Amino acid sequence: MVMNYEDISDFEINQAVTCELFGCHEWSVNQEGAFYHCGADGSGYFIQTVADYCNNQSYSWPIIIDSKIAVLPWNSNGWQSYSCHRRDVSMKPIEVLQARRKLGLSQAAFAELMLVSARTIKYWESGERKPSKLAVQRMKDLTGGSWGD
């Protein structure tokens, strides 16, 4: 699922993360910004301070690590995140070649886009090495999920 976080406030993002972490399905916020939720089992309302996950890495970093989220530069528009928990990540050497050709790139240009060396692209295309789960997901994202002719 793709979300445009520019369309919602940091506080709304922080509320959503807090709710996800604490397993609540109903919540409200008072005027001081305190977050009340009913808990995962609906057993009653609990007060929880809304941490600033958007602007304080001491709150967000443990979530990124535990969820195995990778954040990589994405052209001149900013950053792209990837979950390393994705399934169906097997990729044959010919599929790496097809992905590169679909984008119309040389090995060097494709390597730059993939944030790896041209030698790594050569190894992937020859079958000497396999791309990581993260690399396969990035190729899928770049090619719209398909690369066959």
Q: Same structural domain for residues 119 and 142?
A: yes
Q: What is the DSSP string of 89-142?
A: ----HHHHHHHHHHHT--HHHHHHHHTS-HHHHHHHHHTSS---HHHHHHHHHH
What domain range is 95 assigned to? 69-149
Tell me which of 29, 49, 66 is where a domain ends: 66
Q: Same structural domain for residues 51 and 93?
A: no
Residue of higher predicted confidence among 147 and 90: 90
Angstrom distance (rounded) from CA 92 to CA 114: 17
Tens-digit pLDDT profile for residues 8-44: 788 777 777 776 776 665 666 666 666 665 655 556 6
| pLDDT confidence bin for 1, thresholds 50/70/90 | very low
Q: Same structural domain for residues 78 and 135?
A: yes
The whole-number pLDDT of residue 93 equals: 92
Whether pLDDT at 87 is above 50: no
Q: Same structural domain for residues 32 and 105?
A: no
Q: Same structural domain for residues 84 and 115?
A: yes
Which sign does the torsion angle of CA 106, 103, 136, 97 carry? negative
The mean pLDDT of the chain is: 75
Residue whose token pair is 């996800």? 20
Q: Same structural domain for residues 60 and 78?
A: no
The whole-number pLDDT of residue 69 equals: 75
Q: Same structural domain for residues 114 and 146?
A: yes
Tens-digit pLDDT profile for residues 34-80: 666 565 555 666 666 677 877 888 877 777 777 777 777 766 667 76
Split into its structural domains, the chain has a count of: 2
* Residue 71 contacts residue 64 (beta carbons within 8 Å): yes
Q: Same structural domain for residues 49 and 95?
A: no
Angstrom distance (rounded) from CA 21 to CA 76: 32
Angstrom distance (rounded) from CA 85 to CA 20: 18
Tens-digit pLDDT profile for residues 91-119: 899 999 999 999 999 999 998 888 888 99
Tell me which of 48, 66, 84 is where a domain ends: 66
